[in-house]
Structure 1
Amino acid sequence: MKRFPYTICSMKVLMTFLTFTSVNKSISIPDPRQRDQLLQQESSWQVGGGVELTAAEQRLDSLLHKLKEQEMTAPHFPTAMHFFKAKPYIQQSPVFKLLQKMPKGAVLHLHHSAQVGADWLVLNVTYRPHCYVCFTWGGSVQFLFSPQRPFPRWGCSAWSLMEQLRATISDVAAFDQSLMRNLTLFTEDPDMAYPTQDVVWNRFEQTFVAISGLITYAPVFKDYIYQGLQQLYDDNILYLELRAGLSKIYELDGTVRDKEWSLQTYRNITEQFRLEHPDFVGIRIIVTAHRALSLSQVEVALKETLELQKRYPDIIAGFDLVGREDSGKPIWYFQEALSLPTEVKTNLSYFFHAGETDSYGTDVDRNILDALLFNTTRIGHGFALAHHPLAKELSRKRGVPVEVCPISNQVLKLVSDLRNHPAAVLMAEGHPMVVSSDDPTLFGTSGLSYDFYEVFVVIGGLSATVGTLKELAMNSIRYSSLPADLQDKAMFIWQQKWDKFVLENSS
């Protein structure tokens, strides 16, 4: 189902208004009925504006509207606040607590390496046998599982066995907290810690490397997948599309598992999870390659993805280029490699990161248009889309949604005050979109509730309604890569959960 807000009817209302005002310039007080009609028409254009609400949904909408009004007048309303400062206030919010209960559908933009909470990584994974740690001169941390002390690598000359290291520390809880800090971007003063995008991105990439040493160990990899599914399920999410580079997985004896092993593991763990949670629909993988790679390397990655898709069509959703857009190669640089599926007459869906930048007018900025030229299925972030009216119109007409990741965009310094996020304009225009979390480990979030709060309360303001929430949740299923029969199944499960949620919270 695709929505096109600029209908013939709405344009007639607008033309009537323009004709009326141009002919009647001498009238000092506009017709209140015409004003009401325009306000109503404008509301109908926004995301959720065309959703008809049941009586129970209308009652819930009234409740949420009142709660939002109360929060917006509170002394610590988290509007212009950085998320790291706003998080404690969000957690106390009655609106947030309702959103936690809300069935959100699917998460469509999430990276494998930043899926699970840092607390689980530290309190579970680093307490396992054979876990070594190294603190580098650059101020970062590295982990590795090994049967004996690892050789110097990655700037690490001294590796310590975690079990032995903890035995020498008097305040282990404080030490564990410091490790958690090394696996997230959290800081009490983010503006001081991250004065520029370069600084925060450098820390961002260091953190991914630190996490990698833990989650690419085969026994942890299996548990990590399950834990990630559990955390999503606990936040009322029923389906996941995961961006994953399918990194090589290592065993304690030095055996290295290939990408096919990883895919089989994803499938097996997901099936196990679904047996225990029958209302969870499943998982599909968007295979990724880093945009810092060469043209030939990306071509190899694409060939591997095409081969994997032949063998595992049920779990491979498509392909994406990841990494910081401002410092990586633009999509157009890889045009020859990206044309490979067409040349071999094979379908491969693209899900490009595009427009995660504020460098307007550059080659990087043109990723938005290039993503559409290569028929991207969705646009990851799309922060710059508002600066490209043609690309925005193409995206709307084709039904190509934007994966909006508000907390990620703020933490990585694209926008400081989320009220000014470009998604506010896209929401007002009814542009196709879904809400996503991007890298929850690094931001100290879990599931989608925090990002839904930012979209519903801060970006959407009082204009966002229960209809907005309903359409965003339904969009996450409509715009997924699931085949039609599984989309129908997911929508049926979601609708049952939604009706129950509304009934329990509207009286």
Structure 2
Amino acid sequence: MYHQYDRSEPKPVASDWRKVLNADVSSVEDYNKAVERLQAAEKERAFDFQITTSASHNEKRAAALLHKIQAYDWDHTYGTPHDDEGNPTEKRTQGEHFLGNVDLINKTELMKVAKRMPKGAHLHIHWNSCLPARFLIRQARDIKAMYIRSTLPLTTPEHFATTRISFMVMTPYEATHVKGAEDDEKETPLGNVFDPHYVPNRWMPYKQFQELFNYPGDFGETLTRTERAERWLEHKMLISEDEAHGCKQTGHGIWEKFNYRTQMMKGLFAYESAFRNYTRACIKDFVKDNIQYAEIRPNFMATNSLKTDDGTGSIGNEGIMKIINEELQSTMEELRKRGDYFGGMKVIYCTPRSFQKDQVAAALDECIDLKHKYKDLLCGFDLVGHEEMGNELRHFVPEFLDFQKKCKEQKLDIPFLFHCGETLEVGDKVDGNLFDAVLLKAKRIGHGYAIARHPMIMEIFKEKNIAIESCPISNEILGLTPNIAGHNLPILLANNVPCTINSDNATFYRSSLSHDFYQVIIGSESMNLLGWKQLAKWSLEHSCMNPDEKAAVTAEWQSKWNAFCQWIVDEYSWLEFWEPRPGRH
């Protein structure tokens, strides 16, 4: 246990640790003072030192209560897996796999507090996987031009469990004419996925799928066929604990499962009314989760255009930006009228890292073009996709340098916000992306998991003030850490590397940004309420907002933070007199 530092003594400076080690220690009293000074010198280097030393009385009281809230959750929601005699209790502990614990997490007082916390800016969220899966599935219910297909006939429980599903909005002609390798079209009849003779991957009208849905399992409640179909599809969209953490699972294996979900989601997202409804609902969900500002990552590809609801028309990347802008402005006006606050949202142009050089060059040019047309909306450029399977940043250096030259000539500010270091393969070309990101002057990096093994790169990030968009739950589920206690975030924070907390692909994980903040605090004894505050402040400081926007959003966040701390004190003051059960671990 740490000794308490006596604040009446002169405050040490970080260099004092050398004096402490070189001093003669001849008594227990001298030794205890040396320990206190050594620990105080380390604390002075901590990422939350300034926040902690300048904390108000209310913040300190709220922080102490938050510690009690964690203990209360242990006694009332969690427990030890075995009793004093070694018998299994069937209880779960804090910090087990997120996917296995999320039902308990949602019942905790700490999660209630995390939801209430003003989080500042959300800087790393993929636009096609923000809301719960049921939202887009429900949107598709009455779309006549929606089609569905399966990789297996849905005739046995095994096929229901292992099949892969995809969706697409299209015309009847498109559904029955498939382009071949020579770009010629072959007519194919529609299929019925519930027919034993179904030919895999033939399209079926989604309305017909709902009407004929016949699942062999039991959902435990009375549902219509359509509701049963939607419930099953929602289940198919979510990654399970066994898929993520099964004893035979590998990093590449879970990514393959993840990519299937993104493909399944793609068709549900790719028509105009769903995209507009989703944009409005997502902004409102940010507000509900106490997020004051967001930077979203849609995918921009020539093959990724939106369809009109009848499947006959197509909306390109400029049209997508136009829709986002229209829905953002109208939703913010609606929020203002009802007295809710949202400081705004910007778009990071993303394109796949699996692209060829000419495709990335074209994407960079389009990014510049869209920046001219949507100067206040578009804010950066990124490459997305599995880092270990795609091209490294170095592959596109000529294109990136040319892009930076064009931006300078045209007086445009479009920083790189690269995904990189999302790997355990330290020392090869994949984590070499960290070095490229530094040399290409990235403003932030996504994930940066490998950086904890690169002390020099950590020093550069601190000196150049490059922030890491950390995604704790995503990193756990995609195989970078076995659980939250093994995450690299405490290492980065101990080295005072600026970090932000993000949800990445919340749809597939049954999570929200509140869940990621929850995981952060139960994953490390050194994290507390004031650590949360520093992470939120960093998110605002490292956003792409202009100075006026940043000042306005930060002022609103600070007001909400003060009210949040007061709410903790008012809501949980009774815990000041509560003591946990003896023997709690």
Give, in whole Å, the separation in 2 of the partners of 1:366 and 1:106.
28
**Which residue identity lines up with residue 172 of structure 2 in the other structure?**
Q
What is residue 176 of structure 2 aligned with on the other side?
151
What is residue 468 of structure 1 aligned with on the other side?
531
Residues 79-478 of structure 1: pairs in structure 2 closer than 5 A:
79-137=94-152, 139-148=163-172, 150-151=175-176, 157-169=201-213, 172=225, 173-187=227-241, 190-192=244-246, 195-246=249-300, 247-251=304-308, 252-278=310-336, 279-344=341-406, 345-346=408-409, 347-446=413-512, 448-458=513-523, 460-461=524-525, 463-478=526-541
Q: Report the secondary structure of 1:339's partner residue.
A: helix
Gap regions ≥5 residues in structure 2: 1-10, 81-90, 153-161, 180-198, 215-222, 571-585
Q: Report the secondary structure of 1:357's partner residue.
A: coil
Q: Report the secondary structure of 2:20's partner residue.
A: helix
What is residue 575 of structure 2 aligned with on the other side?
none
What is residue 47 of structure 1 aligned with on the other side?
47
What is residue 21 of structure 2 aligned with on the other side?
18
Q: Report the secondary structure of 1:50's partner residue.
A: helix
Q: CA RMSD in A?
A: 2.2
Distance 1:226 1:78, change over 3 A: farther
Alpha-carbon shift at residue 492 of structure 1 (Å): 1.0
**Which residue identity lines up with residue 13 of structure 1 in the other structure?**
D
Alpha-carbon shift at residue 133 of structure 1 (Å): 1.4
Give, in whole Å, the separation in 1 of the partners of 2:248 and 2:127.
24
Listed one character per residue, the Cα deviations across residues 79-131 of structure 1 (whole Å, up to 9, x for unaligned) are: 55221101112112211110101111110001111122101122333344332
Where relative contact order (Cα < 8 A, 6+ residues apart) is larger, the structure is: 1
Give, in whole Å, the separation in 2 of the partners of 1:153 and 1:205.
23
Larger of the two Rg values belongs to structure: 2
Listed one character per residue, the Cα deviations across residues 307-344 of structure 1 (whole Å, up to 9, x for unaligned) are: 11122110111101111111111111111111112333
**Which residue identity lines up with residue 34 of structure 1 in the other structure?**
A
- Contact persistence 1:49–1:467 (CA under 8 A): no
- Contact persistence 1:108–1:476 (CA under 8 A): yes
Query: Which stretch has the larger CA shift, 143-152 or 59-68?
Result: 143-152
Residues 65-76 of structure 1: pairs in structure 2 closer than 5 A:
65-71=67-73, 74-75=79-80, 76=91
Query: Which stretch has the larger CA shift, 244-253 or 41-50?
Result: 41-50
What is residue 60 of structure 2 aligned with on the other side?
58
Alpha-carbon shift at residue 227 of structure 1 (Å): 1.4
Give, in whole Å, the separation in 2 of the partners of 1:425 and 1:223.
40
Give, in whole Å, the separation in 2 of the partners of 1:175 and 1:379.
39
2:577 is the counterpart of 1:487: no
Alpha-carbon shift at residue 484 of structure 1 (Å): 0.3
Alpha-carbon shift at residue 229 of structure 1 (Å): 1.1
Query: Which stretch has the larger CA shift, 125-134 or 430-439?
Result: 125-134
**Which residue identity lines up with residue 33 of structure 2 in the other structure?**
R
Listed one character per residue, the Cα deviations across residues 206-256 of structure 1 (whole Å, up to 9, x for unaligned) are: 111111111111111111111111211110112110112233111124211
Listed one character per residue, the Cα deviations across residues 425-453 of structure 1 (whole Å, up to 9, x for unaligned) are: 1122322010001001111113x100001
Distance 1:315 1:393, change over 3 A: same
- Contact persistence 2:150–2:201 (CA under 8 A): no
- Contact persistence 2:423–2:449 (CA under 8 A): yes
Over the matched positions of the two proteins, sequence identity in percent amounts to 25
Query: Which stretch has the larger CA shift, 158-167 or 249-258?
Result: 158-167
Listed one character per residue, the Cα deviations across residues 173-209 of structure 1 (whole Å, up to 9, x for unaligned) are: 4432220122222355642387111111111111111
Give, in whole Å, the separation in 2 of the partners of 1:156 and 1:273.
41
Give, in whole Å, the separation in 1 of the partners of 2:360 and 2:164.
29
Give, in whole Å, the separation in 2 of the partners of 1:236 and 1:146.
37
Listed one character per residue, the Cα deviations across residues 369-395 of structure 1 (whole Å, up to 9, x for unaligned) are: 111110000011010001111111000
Gap regions ≥5 residues in structure 1: 1-7
Give, in whole Å, the separation in 1 of the partners of 2:556 and 2:104.
32
Count of matched residue positions in the alignment of Structure 1 and Structure 2 = 494
Give, in whole Å, the separation in 2 of the partners of 1:206 and 1:153.
21
Give, in whole Å, the separation in 2 of the partners of 1:445 and 1:297.
33
What is the TM-score when the length of structure 1 is the normalising length?
A: 0.92
Give, in whole Å, the separation in 1 of the partners of 2:329 and 2:483.
41
Give, in whole Å, the separation in 2 of the partners of 1:19 and 1:133.
73
Alpha-carbon shift at residue 280 of structure 1 (Å): 0.6
Give, in whole Å, the separation in 2 of the partners of 1:298 and 1:110.
21
- Contact persistence 1:352–1:371 (CA under 8 A): yes
Give, in whole Å, the separation in 2 of the partners of 1:79 and 1:421.
15
